[in-house]
Structure 1
């Protein structure tokens, strides 16, 4: 089993966005040394307590501070951009860090309707054209436009020796179908989907037009030396989900002390219980068993781990324990 990382650059309450981004760079350096396969950075716009609207900028810093770990977007939300601009940016990264760059692509807005309009104008219209936008981006990456295409003579410079590797990310049957149709490797967001993930991933493998189909599954994990400690650390994450549901999560991931003092209503407890179902929380042996169960259900050899805690040190320790396991 191979492990990778999806970083949403969470801002812990009481910390600044600068400190959150610096913590992401430190985590990337640590996990590079620990032997993780990929470090991907998510794209979010004005979402509660998240500090990464521009993954490519953060990836430029992370790439310069690491040696072997692959770096990538998780994901570039393509309807927000022109494909040519995306190709240019990831060609810059692939030129600087040869053979290490992934280009994860998604269709979600990554923010509110107002943010989508500010970024891209008619976002919904661009979502409808997602397949066309994706084709255009892939042509720029692979330099294989048909000769009669208006973009055939345009080059997204600089041209790297090794092109960035495109992936398609999603949480639904529709995204799996598109990845299969385009022959792209696929990442399923188990951590943020109520859908039947194993069935969706199987459908992708069954219908992919290439014999090189590959899938990664993204999972929420909090690991500590003991189950009790992991559950205590997870309280801040779970409390944050309650605050977000109430529209009160903008100050960032709350502390454990704040979570412990809160009196939850029945409806809020339902939110917490639902969130627990989408997370693996425990000591190393428990986490290993649960990941192995998921591996059998999904039939994949790589998991991308999301870990959000109030303490950046607890987050690093969680990834250290996982590395020791696998």
Structure 2
């Protein structure tokens, strides 16, 4: 099984955005040396605790300070942008860093309504044309716009370079078949829904049409993960993410609090139920326990790759989690 990273650039309480992004550089360089396959950056707007509003800029910088790891978006929120601009951005990145760039696309707003409205200059955004926009972006990237298309004479520069990999991100399974029909990769966000299933991935594989971008189907699954030397230590650090998810669901502003703050928080009975429910979205335990669960999922669902997102108050604990899992699985 391949291991990869989803870096949502979490900002801990008391930490500056500059420190957060420097931590992201340190993480990328570590996992590059450890042999992780790719690292993706998410797009979140109007967030106090996530510093990645412009993944395309992070991709360019991280690719320049790493050597072999693939770098990409996990994902760009295509609803906010034109297909031509996205094709130009990722063709440029892929020309600068051949065979290392991923264009991962999400269909959510990636922020609250105020941010979405501002991104669309006060106009109500369309939500019903995202597959059409993705199809046009792919045609711009591959330089295969049909003659009868209005954009046939519009070219996305630069030309003739290495193509980026294209991935469609999903959390409900509804996009699995569509990803297959486009001939691109499918990334299922277990960390959002907690509902990974074999029929969902089968729908992707059975509908897959080989393409210039991807000749064979590729699946990866994204998890929230906290691994440590012991189960007890992992549970201690995971308390921060438990509280983060709770605050997120309540729409409360927050940064990543320390495990001590999280463990001393006054939870209602409903809060405790939500925390228990959210545990289906991530893996917590010793590195051996987490690795065994990932191996089981690989056997059960045939996933090619696990994309691990670790959010903790301690940057050192975060790095250690990735290091321990590399020792177990790579």
TM-score class normalised by the smaller sequence: over 0.9
Equivalences for 1:109-148 in 2 at 5 Å? Answer: 109-120=109-120, 122=123, 124-125=125-126, 127-148=127-148
* Cα displacement string for residues 16-70 of structure 1 (whole angstroms, at most 9, x for unaligned residues): 1111111111100110011000011011111351111110001111011000000
Q: Which residue is 2:99 aligned to?
A: 99
Instruction: Check the 8 A contact 2:165/2:184 in 1, yes or no.
Output: no
User: Is residue 2:158 matched to residue 1:158?
Assistant: yes
Structure 2 SS opposite 1:6: strand
Structure 1 SS opposite 2:296: helix
Q: Which residue is 1:247 aligned to?
A: 251
Q: Which residue is 1:80 aligned to?
A: 80
Distance, in Å, in 1 between the alignment partners of 2:142 and 2:55 is 22
- Which range moves more in the overlay, 68-77 or 45-54? 45-54
Q: Which residue of 216, 229, 234 corresponds with 1:230?
A: 234
Deviation of the 1:194 alpha carbon: 4.3
1:209–1:92 CA distance, 2 compared to 1 (3 A)? closer
Q: Please list every run of 5 or more consecutive structure 2 residues that lacks an aligned counterpart in the other structure.
A: none
Instruction: Check the 8 A contact 2:170/2:176 in 1, yes or no.
Output: yes
Deviation of the 1:9 alpha carbon: 0.6
Deviation of the 1:298 alpha carbon: 1.7
1:53–1:150 CA distance, 2 compared to 1 (3 A)? same
Deviation of the 1:175 alpha carbon: 1.1
Structure 2 SS opposite 1:128: coil
Aligned-residue RMSD, C-alpha: 1.6
Instruction: Check the 8 A contact 2:83/2:134 in 1, yes or no.
Output: yes
Distance, in Å, in 1 between the alignment partners of 2:124 and 2:97 is 32
Tell me the TM-score normalised to structure 1 length.
0.95
Deviation of the 1:202 alpha carbon: 1.7
Instruction: Check the 8 A contact 2:247/2:254 in 1, yes or no.
Output: no
* Cα displacement string for residues 295-324 of structure 1 (whole angstroms, at most 9, x for unaligned residues): 122211211111100111110110000111
Q: Which residue is 1:310 aligned to?
A: 313
User: Is residue 2:218 matched to residue 1:214?
Assistant: yes
Instruction: Check the 8 A contact 1:79/1:120 in 2, yes or no.
Output: no
Deviation of the 1:196 alpha carbon: 4.7
Q: Please list every run of 5 or more consecutive structure 1 residues that lacks an aligned counterpart in the other structure.
A: none
Deviation of the 1:182 alpha carbon: 1.4
* Cα displacement string for residues 106-146 of structure 1 (whole angstroms, at most 9, x for unaligned residues): 11111112221211355652x21112111110111000111
Instruction: Check the 8 A contact 1:140/1:156 in 2, yes or no.
Output: yes
Instruction: Check the 8 A contact 2:188/2:196 in 1, yes or no.
Output: no
User: Is residue 2:11 matched to residue 1:4?
Assistant: no
Equivalences for 1:290-301 in 2 at 5 Å? Answer: 290-301=293-304
Structure 1 SS opposite 2:175: helix
Instruction: Check the 8 A contact 2:91/2:161 in 1, yes or no.
Output: no
Tell me the TM-score normalised to structure 2 length.
0.94
Q: Which residue is 1:288 aligned to?
A: 291
Q: Which residue is 2:188 aligned to?
A: 188
Equivalences for 1:263-274 in 2 at 5 Å? Answer: 263-274=266-277
